Amino acid sequence: MKSIFKMTMVLLFAFNFTLLKAQEKEPEFDKNFTHVVYFWLKNPESKQDRADFLKSLNKFMENSQYAKTKFIGEPAGTPREVVDGSFTYSLILTFPSKEIQDKYQKEKAHLKFIEESEQLWKRVQVYDSVGI
């Protein structure tokens, strides 16, 4: 009985340690190419529109085979003259190269996201950058 208890405790410890290590691993930020997108929803006060948009965006990010770093944000509430907090959501994606980002633009998951969500936004602004 003691050996079963010990084995169970060892397995639980190993499982928890592995889980913690997996959670600690942050996505690598690829400095070669960043794709930053700001979305202004037509009805930002609509809980349903927000939920629909985020559901589609998260599904897209789970299925994108090209994007490395995948970050969804919203305005941070840092009112200063130089800060534009008028957007509803932001998206930051990184890629190892412009060529890979070009493939991402045509991938099925990305095109499906646009098809599902474009009726929800009134404006989209994109900033693409390459590392120096």
pLDDT digits (tens, 9 = 90+) for 48-80: 999 999 999 999 999 999 988 899 999 999 999
Sheet with 70-73: list strands edge to edge.
70-73, 89-95, 33-41, 121-130
- pLDDT tens, residue by residue, 22-57: 445 555 677 889 999 999 999 999 999 999 999 999
User: What domain range includes position 103?
Assistant: 33-130
pLDDT over 90, % of the chain: 71
Whether residue 2 is contained in a domain is answered as no
Whether residue 59 is contained in a domain is answered as yes
Q: What is the pLDDT of residue 10?
A: 43
Instruction: Give dist(CA 27, CA 95) in Å, integer.
Output: 12
Total domain count, the chain = 1
User: What is the maximum alpha-carbon separation in the chain?
Assistant: 68
Average pLDDT over residues 110-129: 97
CATH number of the domain that 113 lies in? Answer: 3.30.70.100
Neighbours of 14 (CB within 10 A): 10
Instruction: Give dist(CA 70, CA 90) in Å, integer.
Output: 11
